[in-house]
Chain A
Amino acid sequence: MDLDFMLEHLPRLLQATKITIQLTLLSLFFGIFVGVFFAILRTSGNKILYYISYYYSYILRGTPLLVQIFIIYFGLGQVEWIRESFLWIVLKEPYSCAIIAFTLNTGAYSSEIFRSAFETVNKGIVEAAEGLGLSKINTFFKIKLPIAIRQSLPAYGNEMILMLKGTSLASTVTLLDLTGVAKHIISTTFRPVEVFIVAGSIYLIMTFIIHNFIKFLEKKYNYS
């Protein structure tokens, strides 16, 4: 173990951590919308919408994230009409491809989390809101959503950590995120243990922060 070596490469790894954090936050942000959208489809009561949402999450959760990134980054570029359309501006960049893949993936997992959270909202509360004359939209945003958010916090915290780890796959489409840079340093210096300790510690610190952030939110929104 060589402490000087570890300190020497720390700044580069920290620089790369920025990309990892960006990827994580952006995908989680967009993923929430995708997740809520499919959760609403799932609980809408319409059979067709239900099956669209069901198979969406079934396929995205049943295949590895790596396949999804490769399909979007390598696969879609092969389709003629995509390359000629405005979509190509987005799809030729590995950065946006990675974000699209992560967003769709985390959207599938969070749709399951939000769905089960919506389902656990007590029916009496919803009936009471309707009985008091609240409109459907108001009932959803003021009653159902806040309760569902509180319900889904612990599971969503896990999903955030999984997404943080998932962003490491961005390195397979040439992005230099924390794992990408770590791999580069390992393959040029052949000192895997030291690099693993530094990069791993950075990941663990981020995991720790997410973990405590969720705990804090859970306490804050603990109504009972």
Chain B
Amino acid sequence: MGLLTYGDTGWGDELFFATLMTIAVALAAIFIGFFLAAIFASFKLSKNKILNLIGSFYTTVFRGVPELLVIYLFFFGGSGAVMYVAKIFGYDGYIEVNAFLTGAISIGIISGAYSTEVFRGAVQSIDKGQFEASEVLGFKKKIYYYKIIIPQMLRLALPNISNVWQITLKDTSLISVTGLVEIMRQSYIAAGYTRDPLFFYSFAAVLYLFLTFLSMKMFNRLEKNYSKGY
């Protein structure tokens, strides 16, 4: 347990901040994912064939290709793309893209592919009468979506959103390959320094279990809250 003390001698404080980093990346990723899912779910639900195709392409690719491969694409491709743009503006040096941003975007895009399916399923499971009634009552599309469809949709989508959150949280461990110091990376550093990988990786597992346990409790509470009227 001496290995986990706070301060210069132990790894307790480092691991604590690494855990915060994991939570931060996961939160950033899931919100990027929600944003993308809102766009692509509406593509998939629209009557336009081309938009349908774009939506399906997105979900098929990013749910079918390994997360690690996507991370490598953004890790190696990200700075390349930024440098290409910078070159147009006359800057010729090397630019390294922030590891946090790379991680949050790549995991966010994957998470968004799962969320897209969740959102689409939730909208489709809402009774058609709700849409028709809203139209008959003269609501504009934008307003009835915000006031009538989405609130009902959230209740139905919550258990699945909880699943997507768990997947996203666990996927953040893969960002350690880019050097971002989250739980996995910090354990790797500590394991290399102290030559005690069994302890540190097991401790990392405990930290992840703690996070998944905590988020499950929170989602259960949310679900109860959202299904008050049912």
Contact = CB atoms under 8 A, between A and B. Distances in A.
Asked if chains A and B come from one complex, the reply is yes
A165 B32 CA distance: 22
Q: Is the interface of B mostly helix, strand, loop or mixed?
A: helix
Contacts of A65: 170
Given A62-B208, A67-B184, A196-B72, A179 B66 contact: yes
A70 B66 CA distance: 18
B72 A186 contact: yes
B24 interface: no
Interface in A59-108: 59, 62-68, 70-71, 74-79
Interface string A140-182: 0000000000000000000001000111110110000001001
Contacts of A71: 197-198, 201-202, 205
Contacts of B204: 67, 70
A190 B177 contact: no
Interface residues on B, range: 35 or more
B65 interface: yes
B69 A199 contact: yes
B205 A192 contact: no
Contacts of B208: 62-64, 67
The 7 A-B residue pairs with the shortest CB-CB distance, nearest first, are: A168-B66, A75-B198, A64-B173, A192-B77, A74-B197, A192-B76, A64-B170
Interface of A: 59, 62-68, 70-71, 74-79, 161, 165-169, 171-172, 179, 182-183, 186-187, 190, 192-193, 196, 199-200, 203-204, 207-208
